Structure 1
Amino acid sequence: MNAFTTTPLISRAALFGNPSRRGAAISPDGAHITFLAPLDGVMNVFIAPRAALDQATPLTRETKRGVPFYEWAKDSRHVLVVRDTDGDENYHIHAVDIKTGAARDLTPFEGVRAELAKVSRQHPGAVVISHNARNPQFPDVVRVDIATGETTMIAENPGFASFGIDDDFAVRYAVVIQPDGSQLVLRPDAAAGWAEFMRFAPEDAMTSGIEDLFASDGSTLLRSSAGRDTAALYRLDFATGAAHEIAADERADIGAVLVDPHSKAPLAYSVNYERNRYVALDAAVAADLAFLDGAGIGDWGLQSRTDDDRLWVVGADADTAPAAAYLYDRTLKTLEKLYDSRPELADAPLAAMHPVVIDARDGLKLVCYLTLPKGSDEATPGRPAQALPMVLMVHGGPWARDIFGYNSYHQWLANRGYAVLSVNFRASTGFGKGFLNAGNNEWGRAMDDDLLDAVDWAIGAGIADASRIAIMGGSYGGYATLAAMTRNPTKYACGVDIVGPSNLETLLATIPPYWEAAKAIFHKSIGNPDTADGLALLRERSPVHLADRLARPLLIGQGANDPRVKQAESDQMVAALKAKGIAVTYVLFPDEGHGFARPENNIAFNAITEQFLAAHLGGRAEPIGADEISRSTAPILEGADTLS
């Protein structure tokens, strides 16, 4: 018997249940550490003295959905907590006093989406927030006093995509997306109100932009792919518009930039092609980067820092080690582990991830990540001894990318006996404007060809059994699943669509109102429904109109409150399949949005998915626990009989 078939099963609860802790941050004054942790099974913000994490106490007391995000205010007295309701993405921002526990809703509006726009050490008692209370389509920018909730308008939005705000809470620029997809940057003008400052051509618009990191001399940072393919980093003289190149990479766009918290001078930048790496720009951080790179903690990133920049909270993971958080003292050069996010996986049989670069049929390079069942490739790492059933995992966006590191879905599926392949298909971000724009008008065509080319590579390399391949993904990845299974009806043995659009025409007609300013980007990339050719393209590429071509089992998961991909997208696909007499399994969560945030629901859907894949690919499956489905909120609306 092969070693990988006897590898112990890793429980779904360990992989997809609440982490023990995550999201660590340090207060600006360095006195406290905060993190998210379960309280009665729900993720809440906890706070502890910096030197005594064992004394942590809950700062919030959410009882249902949990806190998705928080940030320290610069006064070191308040934590800014972001929440929505059942996944509707109408976020409220609450300021919680760490001394009294009192919470104030800084955005007390119903049906309004708010976002944190700026915190600044120059105004520690205030925060800048954008919200669409006045106009659902175009969010205004306001200053809010944290202690009182008093709100002052900074800028009403006449139709802009975004504003650039400096540390003094002044509006320095605004961005407008033009009908052709180009990006126009405006500056305030005393006479005209706004005046054009800079323009990025349509092909550069999604890989270029100004950062609101203004230095005392008025300069700021600029990313731009103008005149080149990958986005480079520049120092921009905001008075004259002159730009000086700081950093560039020929294979990938410049990623995160580490700046001095006071001067805003760029200290280092990251580049991620196959793996993420940091490059020092200033001797002040070169030793820090070298220390952290040599610490053996995996791929790392800066999560939080004190105002004096002495203490950093660093997050790190490796392909075979879930996320951990560390406190790094730059002066003493000491690294203290704060926690492991999933200590229950410390001795689990986690499998290695292998970066691979695959050639697409037209010569584009596809950066991919392959994970194989542990023990299946002992003779040749990255190549199994025999072809395996495979799951093709397609990322969402599509303006996003897969990365190297710990991936719970890769680990889960590899542990069940599947090869797992993730593909950065064209339109994925980070690989230059040519790669990104190669996806324009190619939903369900060249983007699908990239997936086919990666699958054929896996088959040709002896990795995948051609008769036992599944396709699975969420959001755009869900669309890709539906498109692939209707375009290539016999290529895949089964598919799993999570919150994926089935009808591009209705998708664009129902996008959230606050995406209005960026609608031109969708029209340029997917198809413009206001033109005859664009409408024809949308209909041609919509899987709902090709439902009768589907020939293999399909599982669909949907959140009823999804503001991006409405429930109707899954409903109409299911209805079209039923009308043709084609079996489909449909799971609808009434308290979820764009994805399944509550662990009970995520575990339930993955339990269903696991049985579905085992039935159609032949992999292993952990038995469904007595309460795994009942603890969730979802009925199986259609096709329960297809799970076995």
Structure 2
Amino acid sequence: MRTAIRVTFLASAFVTSSTLIAAEPSDPPLIERTKLFGNPVKAYGRISPDGKWLSFTAPRDGVLNIWVAPVDNIDAAKPLTNERERPIRSYFWTPDSKQILFIQDKGGDENFLLYGVDVATAKQTTLTPFKKTRAEVVGISSRHKDRILVGLNNRDPKWHDVHSLNLKTGKLTLVQRNTGYGGFLADNDLHLRMALKSRDDGGMDYYRISNGKIETKPFATVGLEDALTTNPAGFTADNKTLYWIDSRGRNTAALIAQDVASGETKVIGESPKADISGTLTNPKTLQVEAYQAEYLKPEWSALDKDIGATLEWLKYKLGASPNVQARTDADDKWIVSADKVVEPSAVYLFDRKAGTLTKLYTGRPELVGAPLVPMWPVEIKARDGLTLPSYLTLPASADANRDGKPDRAAPMVLFVHGGPWARDEFGYNPYHQWLANRGYAVLSVNYRASTGFGKEFLAAGNLQWGKKMHDDLIDSVDWAVANGVTTPDKVAIMGGSYGGYATLAGLTFTPDKFACGVDIVGPSNLFTLLETIPPYWEAFKQQFYQRMGDPTTEAGRALLKEVSPLTYTDRIKKPLLIGQGANDPRVNKRESDQIVDAMKAKNIPVTYVLFPDEGHGFARPANNIAFNAVAENFLQPCLGGRAEPIGDGLKGSTIQVLNGSKYVNTLDQSLASK
């Protein structure tokens, strides 16, 4: 960014006695971007159901691929796949331990196909060989290990037909043609037992399936208020019990066990402040043995005494709440890890019989000893009294004694989560660590509409995009200023998806509140956003309409226009950086194009970065590193923090700067050398 732009945009009406932190000799060394955002050495550690193999993803020629090793010798690992462009980010073992299945799309288009690779021969097969198709796993059985159920929308992009996939031959057999249902639930015999269908009010109806036929009348109805907090969670192995995560008749979603024969239900797990967010299930019986809820920090509650003792022992040994990543069928070996925030996560093999923990790997060993800083849970009061569970990370120079209370004010980045029906969580966050290392306080706020805190908190965000949801973010900035975290003239807003929308809203609805903004794949026009949602979201379209605004009504269209940042482009007067994936199926490239074109038409500076091989976010590490290189050199003159020079940070990426490269320090030179 040129100095002239900074002076024009950052002239502040505030006079403050607070002292902002400048770079000092006592500042910790810069952590290189590549160490935070490059490929991990290993990730996604798993163990095969039969306990014979370890698996993980690791770089092969610079791209994350799947590797396997004998369970007793991880050093003998060999690559099983050979992806050359996009990293493998999701995989799982087949029940018979003979194959590993993974999904992969092209260029971020989210048309995920399902692939299988034989562990013995490394032969790879495309199991869903269709174009413009998104495969989804519908059912996996602990009893029938030779097949699984998959959903395919190759016949109609809106609806997924259910097929049985023979894992040995790859043959697909149609099980259920989908005539308008948003999803299906299978039991442990791979029989479809339930179908769900969207209601006009944004809720869901649930229908029983008997002998392959869907009943005409729903056996359960879930209204809009419970639609995002109530879902069936699977059957036990004997198919006699059905679990639900259920908020009906209560605020926070509880863990419910329902007797299939009688229909009787029983609450077996609940939390007064948070929804049940996860379960630990016995691999043989499929009975829930423990459940997790997270208000400010994740907490396990055990239903089984032995499992409870095991979790407590693991917490003691690991130094933090354990994450159980995989269990063998015999349940004699687990893959576990723990998040200590200020250390890179390590993964262990836990032998239950021997009572031993064997370290398998540290995912990012290059961060061992790095100046990582703590994350602090905080509760912030919104102007209407709603409590906002949030997370604050302070730079080392602003919190010398690490007590979570600032010694002096620092520039701050308000980092807003996407969704918006998602949440920020406690734990190691590379963005918090990166920005704090550059000298910024980082605040992430669970604004109303965030999930995990009960249906009332979620519903408080209905029709409040750019309104009370935005007020929550403004109130959080005011809290940070009042508590000495930052000063009012040195706050940036940054985020992806809804967080990108919040960035654009911040610079248009409250143009004097933020010094600058970084929008990553954020929508600028909510009407065109709803026009271009993926077809396979058809079943949930009414939920969008009820929670955002209905584009089929005059009142809804007026609301969507009112809360679209594009409507107020002429109010933007602070520096803006936009990052977009060309193939984004959720937030179409047009969302970024529209506001950039409008700004250019009004001679308002903006920097616009495009990645032609990405979708909703940047999956390729080289692209993520490149964008973050641009972002920190955009933020540095705006907030006065530190920045690692762009240097060769663009190499290996497909970055295209469509507008405003001159507004980011040394970006033109780096593009020329790339």
Match status 1:501 vs 2:501: no
Q: Which residue of 2 aligns with 1:415?
A: 437
What is the match of residue 48 of structure 2?
Answer: 27
- CA–CA distance in 1 between the matches of 2:384 and 2:109? 40
1:103 is matched by which residue type in structure 2?
Q
Which residue is 2:325 aligned to? 303
> What is residue 378 of structure 1 aligned with on the other side?
400
Whole-angstrom CA distance in 1 between matches of 2:103 and 2:177? 23
> Of the candidates 146, 163, 188, which is equivalent to residue 209 of structure 2?
188
Paired with 1:458 and 1:306, the residues of 2 have a C-alpha distance of 47
Give distance in 2, aligned partners of 1:396 and 1:603: 20
Residue of structure 2 aligned with 1:283, choices 285, 295, 305: 305
Is the Cα–Cα contact under 8 Å of residues 42 and 363 in structure 2 kept in the other structure?
Answer: yes
Given candidates 345, 363, 366, the residue that maps to 2:367 is 345
* 624, 636, 656: which one aligns with 1:635: 656
- Give a deviation string over 1:163-214, Cα, whole Å, max 9, x none: 0011211001011120101211100256874431111122111111212224
Equivalence for 2:554 = 532
Kindly indicate whether residue 582 of structure 2 is the aligned counterpart of residue 560 of structure 1: yes
Aligned residue in 1 for 2:186? 165
Q: Distance in 2 between matches of 1:376 and 1:640?
A: 32
For 2:256, the aligned partner's letter is: Y
CA change 1:188–1:119 in 2 (3 A) is closer
Partner of 1:571: 593
Amino acid at match of 2:336: V
Confirm or deny: 8 A CA contact 1:154 1:170 kept in the other structure: no
Could you say what secondary structure the match of 1:227 adopts? coil
Give, in whole Å, the separation in 1 of the partners of 2:138 and 2:43: 23
- CA displacement at 1:316 relative to structure 2: 2.0
SS of structure 2 residue aligned to 1:322 = coil
**Which deviates more from structure 2 when the two are superposed, residues 456-465 or residues 192-201?**
192-201
- Rounded to whole Å, the distance in 1 between the matches of 2:104 and 2:585 is 15
Indicate conservation of the 8 Å contact 1:353/1:369, yes or no: yes
Amino acid in structure 2 at the alignment position of 1:549: R
Q: In the alignment, residue 74 of structure 1 is paired with which amino acid? A: P
Whole-Å separation in 1 of the counterparts to 2:369 and 2:227: 46
Q: Secondary structure at the match of 2:415?
A: strand
Secondary structure at 1:591 match in 2: coil
Q: 1: CA distance between counterparts of 2:272 and 2:541?
A: 30
Q: Is the 8 A contact 1:400 1:428 kept in 2?
A: yes
- Quote the Cα distance in structure 1 between the aligned partners of 2:24 and 2:658: 39
TM normalised by structure 1 equals 0.98
Distance 2:224 2:288 in 1: 27
Distance in structure 1 (CA, Å) of the matches to 2:217 and 2:172 = 27
Structure 2 equivalent of residue 589 of structure 1: 611
Cα distance in 2 for partners of 1:5, 1:494 equals: 27
Amino acid at match of 2:169: T
Letter matched to residue 663 of structure 2: T
Task: Normalising by structure 2, report the TM-score.
Answer: 0.93
| Identical amino acids, percent of aligned pairs | 50
Aligned partners of 1:299 and 1:405 also within 8 Å: no
Contact 2:90 2:103 in 1 (8 A): yes
Moved more, 115-124 or 156-165: 115-124
Match of 1:105 among 118, 126, 144: 126
- In the TM superposition, 1:143-222 aligns within 5 A as 143-189=164-210, 193-216=215-238, 218-222=240-244
Alignment of 1:7-406 (within 5 A): 7-189=28-210, 193-216=215-238, 218-379=240-401, 381-406=403-428
Q: Secondary structure at the match of 2:194?
A: strand
The C-alpha deviation readout for 1:290-312, integer Å capped at 9, x for no partner, is 11111134333211110111111
Gaps of 5+ in 2: 1-21, 666-674
Look up the match of 2:539.
517
Q: 2:602 aligns with which of 580, 585, 589?
A: 580
CA distance in 2, matches of 1:210, 1:349: 43
RMSD: 1.4
Does the CA contact (< 8 Å) of 1:4 and 1:417 recur in 2? no
Match of 2:16 in 1: none
| Shift in Å, 1:24 | 0.6
C-alpha separation between the residues in 2 aligned to 1:22 and 1:4?
A: 35
Aligned residues: 643
CA contact (8 A) 2:374 2:402 kept: no
Match of 1:616 among 638, 642, 655: 638
Give, as a single letter, the amino acid of the residue that structure 2 aligns with 1:118. G
Higher relative contact order (CA 8 A, sep 6+): 2
- Cα deviation, 1:530-573, whole Å, max 9, x if unaligned, reads 11111111111111111011110000000001010010010001
Q: Which region of structure 1 is more displaced relative to structure 2, 299-308 or 572-581? A: 299-308
Query: What is the deviation of 1:4?
Result: 7.8
Compute the displacement of 1:257 (Å). 1.2
Deviation at 1:117, TM superposition (A): 2.3
Deviations 1:110-168 (A, max 9, x none): 11011222222222121211110111101111111112111111211111111001121
